[in-house]
Structure 1
């Protein structure tokens, strides 16, 4: 199992424009083979800070995701929105245990 955790920043004044674009890429990604979870969440204490969390069945499926058309489009869109502070980390994990 592959877990992806991170964050990026969109200027707070552009968030109304960013939300539908983020929703579009989330829906497309969630339909991909191997995607268990794919989430963007706005930090309620820091406007414009977006938290990223993803879970994938395998690193190969994550790699295929990064090459999709919708990710290429999202890359252009987020650049145009003024994305900054992107920090994403990939972890390998077992299936986990509920707590």
Structure 2
């Protein structure tokens, strides 16, 4: 089975950038320690400080789905409720 690449784009409410950034940063060490996590890198747009992006690589889709049910993901969702104005996630496969 192919590895799964995830590109997640998160756009914070401009008045909530610091909150969203802090909550996203909390996810990094916890997620990197999860089974199946190969890469979990958080990025921020150089021109739009409200735009964050995770680039992730997982051993399998099933392990990523387990990650999505983790307590720290639920805590992030609760902490940022109303502070994220747009969230887009793409599941991708490396082809080259």
Give the distance between the partners of 1:9 and 1:92, measured in 2 at CA. Answer: 24
Match of 1:9? 11
Structure 1, unpaired ranges of 5+:
none
Q: Taking structure 2 as the reference length, what is the TM-score of the superposition?
A: 0.86
Write out the 4+ residue segments of structure 1 that deviate beyond 3 Å after TM superposition.
Answer: none
User: What is the RMSD of the two structures over their aligned residues, measured on CA atoms?
Assistant: 1.6
Match of 2:40? 38
Give the distance between the partners of 2:41 and 2:55, measured in 1 at CA. Answer: 5
SS in 1 for 2:76: helix
Q: Taking structure 1 as the reference length, what is the TM-score of the superposition?
A: 0.84
Match of 2:24 among 22, 25, 34: 22
Structure 2, unpaired ranges of 5+:
none
Match of 1:85? 86
Length, aligned pairs only: 94
